[in-house]
Amino acid sequence: MIRSTVAWLRFSAVIASMAIMVLAVLIIYPFSKSFVRQQVRMIWTRCLIASTGAKLYFHGYPLSNQDMKNSMVVANHISWMDTVVMYRTCFVQFIGKIEMLQWPILNRVIQAGGTIFINRKNKKELININQHVAQLLREGASIGLFPEGKTSVGKEVLPFKAPLLEAARMANSKIFPVVLSYRKNNNRLAREVSFAKVGWMKTVMNTLRLQGLTIHVTVLPPVAAADFADRELLANYLHQQIRDCYQQQQIK
């Protein structure tokens, strides 16, 4: 009973945080520069994560604004919170599925974040998307990507899909592998945060009922995309780095 009450209180705080961000998108974003948008996003993500009752911890390679120029940030994909956590970590534009535009309320926030939408069913579109992303990278952008293409249940890191990594090779970009891990009391894996084969509302409420939820973001040293002969080799290397680190964290 107490957990359910706490969960609904947290849910109210999450909705309030989302509403504030939507208002910011409508009122502030159209008239603000990149720095202001970045600060708004940082404040919003901090409030949203706090409203879930979770604590966020950063480990590994320290990121700086200079590091983020012409870079791609790739991470494993587990939770509905992953994008928010990544926004809290660094100022990136994500590559996301076009179906996100159909999400109520959230679609405005996603669009405001500069998300690059892709129709995964149209393979021919990949060429144009890679050219577009490569140009953004050359201009100094930082692009976020979940190369698994879907969420896992958190037991393992799924194989990476390589096509969208071609843009990083085309732009001679740095790639930062990022490991996301969610744990609950006694440092156990928090599988409740995953929405693989689970409805959005159910996984949100499962997450908000958790006690002692901690989110760990581990940034591994950057990789030069141009050092790899093709995108498949690059994808396999990034997968191995993230998978090995993730598995080591579960052992501890």
pLDDT tens digits for range 79-103: 989 988 998 988 888 887 777 666 6
pLDDT of residue 24: 77
Q: How far is CA 202 from CA 16, 214, 232, in A?
A: 19, 19, 36
pLDDT of residue 102: 67
pLDDT of residue 141: 92
> Are the C-beta atoms of 90 and 73 separated by less than 8 Å?
yes
Quickly state the pLDDT bin for 251 (edges 50, 70, 90): low
Which segment, 110-119, 167-176, 181-190, is predicted with the most confidence on average?
167-176
* Listed residue (228, 198, 18, 208) closest to 106, CA to CA: 18
pLDDT at residue 252 tops 60: no
Quick one: CA dihedral 248, 95, 200, 11, positive or negative?
positive
pLDDT at residue 107 tops 70: no
E-only strand ranges, 120-230: 142-145, 174-184, 188-189, 214-219, 223-224
Which residues does residue 183 pair with via DSSP β-bridges, in sequence order?
189, 214
Query: In the Cβ-directed half-sphere of 248, how many Cα atoms lie within 13 Å?
Result: 8
Query: In the Cβ-directed half-sphere of 13, how many Cα atoms lie within 13 Å?
Result: 19
Q: What is the pTM of this model?
A: 0.90
* Listed residue (130, 123, 51, 40) closest to 88, CA to CA: 40
Share of the chain above pLDDT 70, in %: 90
> Phi first, then psi: what are they for 146, rounded to 5°?
-105, 90
Span 56-82, average pLDDT: 92
C-alpha span between 152 and 95 (Å, rounded): 18
Quickly state the pLDDT bin for 54 (edges 50, 70, 90): very high
pLDDT at residue 149 tops 60: yes
CB atoms within 10 A of CB 155: 14
Give the amino acid at 202: K
C-alpha span between 205 and 113 (Å, rounded): 25
**Strand, coil or helix: 28:** coil
Q: What is the mean pLDDT of the chain?
A: 87
Contacts of 110 (CB under 8 A, 6+ apart): 94, 96, 100, 101, 103
Quickly state the pLDDT bin for 104 (edges 50, 70, 90): low
> Are the C-beta atoms of 161 and 148 separated by less than 8 Å?
yes
> Are the C-beta atoms of 220 and 58 separated by less than 8 Å?
no
